[in-house]
Chain A
Amino acid sequence: MADNQEKDYILQVKNLKKYYPITGGFFSRVIGHVKAVDGISFDIERGTTMGLVGESGCGKSTTGRTLLRLDGEKTDGSVLFNGKEVYDFSKKEMNDKRTEMQIIFQDPFASLQPRMPVGEIIGEAVREHKIVPPEKYDEYVEKIMDECGLQSFQKERYPHEFSGGQRQRICIARAIALQPEFIVCDEPVSALDVSIQAQIINLLKELQEKRNLTYLFISHDLSVVEHISDTVGVMYLGNMVEFGKTEDIFKNPLHPYTQALLSAVPTPDPKAKMDRIVLEGSIPSPANPPKGCKFHTRCSKCMECCKCEVPEVREIEPGHKVACHLYKDQGKKVES
């Protein structure tokens, strides 16, 4: 993009890959790799939200965790956070950096230490990283809890005494307490009731405005993503197939996979005619992905060249990129 320099990107991901070895045989030799994330690139502007959507198993959560270096080493590519490579930090530096980049996990039940009172869960790292002076510590934890819709008397309680929505509030408070700039929200509402989902989404939006936060919002719920995101990336089998502004993606989906996903979103109008594009079969194994375009096995517009040639990423309209052979003569090629 021409205006690349003028924009303030908090996160720049280039050709990121994360493979997991498959071991087998008597000596546990590596016999293959699960290519969970297979070369994806995107940038996130400060103060915005990027939605990341895709089927289960397409590598969304792995992307989120790999960005924060929570899953061992990356396989290839680069993750620049405020212009610095995340994987170049020493262990000590990384631990300090973690205050700036936080994550909210999908399962609010499993991700809270069951044997720690809530105040401690929220405040432990605050003390560890000396976010506030010790004499202000209690006050600070209470303030954060209040900000996230929790009462300060709940400090002494244990996670199992809370409901799912409240637990997710604890997870959010825990992340916010470290005063991060960037938060990966890894399907933060998919484990919750619809009524609670809205509350949590609104809380996240409120906090974003107040603290100028940047989110990477991972979800498989397209209506939630449409509501919260400024930009959207669509993932399929470890690759980003389409990326663009939220309006562009939802009004004018280019990739056949995005079109299929959007056609499956339920509408509240019972009389509206559903023109669903049904995807045949299931997602192929990421250990042995199809050659060429990974989506060709299920694509309704599959052509001969899709089966052997990997499509290049092309920018069709400003900021709207797609990786599909249907558009090979349009827009311009994007270097990756």
Chain B
Amino acid sequence: MRKYIIKRILISIAILFVVSFLIYLLMRCLPTSYVENLARQKSMQPNSKSYEEWMQQLSAAYGMDKGIFSGFFTWLGNALHFNFGDSWHYTVPVTQKFADTIWVSVYMGAVSMFFEIIIAIPLGIYAATHQYQKSDYIISVVAIAGMSLPTFFFASLLKLVFCVKLGWFDLFGLTGRNYEQLSSMGQIMDKAQHLFLPIVVLVVISIGSLMRYTRTNMLEVLGQDYIRTARAKGLSEKKVIYHHAFRNTLIPLVTIIGGSLPGLFSGALITETLFGINGIGYTSYNAMVNGDIPFSMFYLVFIAILTLAGNLISDILYAVVDPRVRVS
């Protein structure tokens, strides 16, 4: 097992190297160049140097005069010393901007994922054990409706009803107007209130797929011979479903959930934008649109590391729940 983990980690490092190079290559090939934009702006100002002169000066200052290979290895060398530079667009150190914006997204993602799991999995099991009955159809239709709702539409609808008509929540932002005057408990409650609708949006649009997935897997397992064996043993229906069937459904579920863990850190771009929450999704989107190479590199490589780690962890978890993997 240890040998397997070490091998997987080494492979992951090789993959990471290639991935980060590809990201750098793509960032350099983007049609929006931060340096060009800046040079154009500067040259527009009265009594300014020409665009070419600014271009030359700024390229040297931002390290864009180097070729793609040497540029990449310079970045890599710095990155290995945990020096990720300053964000061009936000003009603060990359790590600082990242730390400022990541946690609200992670918090939002984690809470919505928690609710997604505790709602979707029982629903999926219920639908599977009541296959082709009314309740199964209702659950499936509602789940598919949730899946197919465009985020922006659903979010706007919620805002219209709960913010505009009912006035229960603020339209934008993470904190209310009187945030500074609140006690620390009040501040937490204020943030929770502001995060309520975004989390509802995230949960509703994500429940469908996990529920469908649970249902399909559960149905497959329920059709297996060993379930008939369990029934022949005279076990109660509850035992048959939770002790025999659900255990075998867990394996694919662990893979899916493990695979979606990195998603917590990628933020929710549309939801964050619509609710005016300054999370990582919104921040990284702006960085990329403005050609902010240091921030985008840091963020994308970070996501790549998480994805690789997520795969590794879910493979290890596999071994925990599946005795057959454990042996070999």
Contacts and interface: CB of A to CB of B under 8 A. Distances in A.
Interface of A: 28, 65, 68, 70, 91, 94-99, 102-103, 105, 107, 110-116, 124-125, 128-129, 158, 160-161, 171, 174, 178
B234 interface: yes
B226 A110 contact: yes
B225 A111 contact: yes
A105 B248 CA distance: 20
A110 B225 CA distance: 5
Contacts of A174: 229, 233
The 10 closest A-B pairs by CB, nearest first: A98-B234, A125-B233, A110-B225, A111-B225, A95-B234, A113-B226, A158-B323, A111-B229, A103-B232, A160-B324
Contacts of A111: 225-226, 228-229
Given A115-B323, A161-B327, A70 B228 contact: yes
Contacts of B233: 98, 124-125, 128, 174, 178
A116 B235 CA distance: 15
Contacts of A94: 234
Interface string B310-328: 0000000000011110010
Nearest to B227: A113
Counting chain B CB atoms within 10 Å of each CB, the highest count among A68, A94, A114, A171 belongs to A114
Given A111-B225, A114-B248, A124 B235 contact: yes
B232 A68 contact: yes
B239 A128 contact: yes
Interface string B71-105: 00000000000000000000000000000000000
Contact of B232 (A102, A113, A116): A102
Of the four ranges (under 10, 10 to 19, 20 to 34, 35 or more), the interface on chain B belongs to 20 to 34
A94 B313 CA distance: 44
Contacts of A91: 237
Counting chain B CB atoms within 10 Å of each CB, the highest count among A95, A99, A103, A113 belongs to A113
A116 B224 CA distance: 15
Interface of B: 132, 224-226, 228-237, 239, 243-244, 247-248, 321-324, 327
Contacts of B248: 113-115
A68 to B, nearest CB: 7
B234 A158 contact: no
A14 to B, nearest CB: 23
A124 B235 CA distance: 9
Contact of B234 (A116, A128, A161): A128
Nearest to B245: A113
13 contacts: A65-B228, A91-B237, A95-B234, A95-B235, A97-B234, A105-B229, A111-B228, A111-B229, A112-B226, A124-B243, A158-B323, A158-B324, A160-B324
Given A115-B247, A161-B327, A105 B225 contact: yes
A110 B234 contact: no
B234 A113 contact: no
A129 B234 contact: yes
A119 to B, nearest CB: 13
A96 B233 CA distance: 9
Nearest to B239: A128
B230 A113 contact: yes
B229 A112 contact: yes
A128 B231 CA distance: 12
A147 B229 CA distance: 21
Contacts of B323: 114-115, 158, 160
A111 to B, nearest CB: 4
B237 to A, nearest CB: 8
Given A115-B323, A158-B324, 13 more contacts: A65-B228, A91-B237, A94-B234, A97-B234, A105-B228, A110-B226, A111-B226, A113-B229, A114-B248, A115-B322, A124-B233, A171-B229, A178-B234
A129 B234 CA distance: 8
A174 B231 CA distance: 13
Contacts of B229: 105, 111-113, 171, 174
Contacts of B224: 110
Contacts of A99: 234
